[in-house]
Chains A and B, each alone.
Chain A
Amino acid sequence: MQKRVIFRSAWLPYLLLLPQIAVTLIFFFWPAYQALESSFFIEDAFGFSRDWVGLQNYAELFRDEGYIRSFRTTLVFGLSVAALSLSVALVLAVAANRVLHAATAYRTLLIWPYAVAPALAGVIWYFLMNPSLGIVAYWLKLMGYDWNHYVNGDQALLMVIVAAAWKQVSYNFLFFLAGLQSIPKSMLEAAAIDRAGPMRRFWSITFPLLTPTTFFLLVVNLVYAFFETFSLIHATTEGGPYDSTSILVFRVYNTGFVGQDYGSSAAQSVILMIMVVLMTFFQFRFVERKVNY
């Protein structure tokens, strides 16, 4: 009998992986390879002519100030979405954990936004914040604050951050709530006997126990903010005003599908891929070391 549970078989693991590998080869690696290849070409939309240009598509991107600014915008956007949705979800989950009797109705309401399609979430927020028709813009005006995200870039960025975070809070909330409910009551009671205040108890006992959940959610939220928000931006600000909400993935979409410029779009995807591979590699290394599974 082996000591560690690691099975040995010459063929079984490959057989287990075969379906997965077949699908990814056909629908991921082959097309991804072609995307990589086309980033070194300039081609017309219909694919008649294809000229090798080496690194020109990349060079053009890095000469473009707008593209460089986009990195900053993306970073601000991604981190803000993750921070906002995680912190709001945590507060809501802590509250739900306390008042268990009302929790069902409460949970029901909070999970709803997750069911709404990203583009439609964009439309709802677009409507709420519309400077002339939107109810929130109207309230802000009553409070003496002039809201017009069509002109003010910071307001526009704030709007898409809130809209993106809004949808994600539901998911985070569920995970935090489940995490909180799995913390043994006895631990908290013991701390209470030691006269530790509620804030102290939260930060010294509850939060550390939630760390694995938090790290997991951080990864999920960042992937969401970086990759799945382009339809939201497309439906609301179209990257504007100026280029204040133009995040990297929106640019990929805009260059490729709206502009039919596949070479540059492919180059942008490749840059995005490299960036995220590095980031995730670092993150997982950090998470796996720091958090004990």
Chain B
Amino acid sequence: MNKLVIDNSIEDNDIFVINDTEMTVDLSNTERYISIHVVNGTCLKGFIKTNNTKNKIKYIIDDNCEVTINKLAIDSSDEIEIVLNDKNSIVKYTTSIINYKDNIYKQIINHKSDDTTSKIRNHCINIFDNEFKFVIDGIIEKDAERVDLKQDNKIINLRNGKSNILPNLIVDNNDINASHSAYIGTFDEDTKFYMMSRGLTSNECDDLLIKSFLLNGMELQEKERDIFSSIIETINK
């Protein structure tokens, strides 16, 4: 597999993925527009870590591609656009956000072609009393048949944060499968009671629940999981 690194020192914003590639993105304090074109028959695996970014990232995905992205962001107001341009491609985009300020995270998934699949999972822990908003658009165009689109958006407010989720499904074809779920709230009290009944303090319960909430659903290698875990472990301290 090819290796691709995008970080603050590399200014190339037009990227073509022509072979199976493992992409590592590490960006902080940036406002960049990055275009990633995944050409036909290619597999792209992305491990993304961002901090205080307002990037616009556009993925253009050709036919028979498999794109798997696992992203952990701190204070992100990124805008992600994913265009499934051609047939038989799959995108699994799993985003976890740790939010300390006011932020809006936008994502557009545009299915332009037949037999395309998108599995979008967005989770956010809103730490303080700030505003956080997910704006997630799923578009299925008229000519795109047998599309499978799934969105799962959740925000956990640790304190009194003001959170909002705007999931929009714009569907112009009847032969498709589309679903979305949205949840804003706190960790379940019954779950915490059960954990505390085993002697875990309230803080320890939160630590375990935060970690599982942010990491669950991600397809990570051990090293990647350790990197994400070490960032997550700084929350709630």
Chains A and B bind each other: no
B residues in contact (CB < 8 Å) with A: none
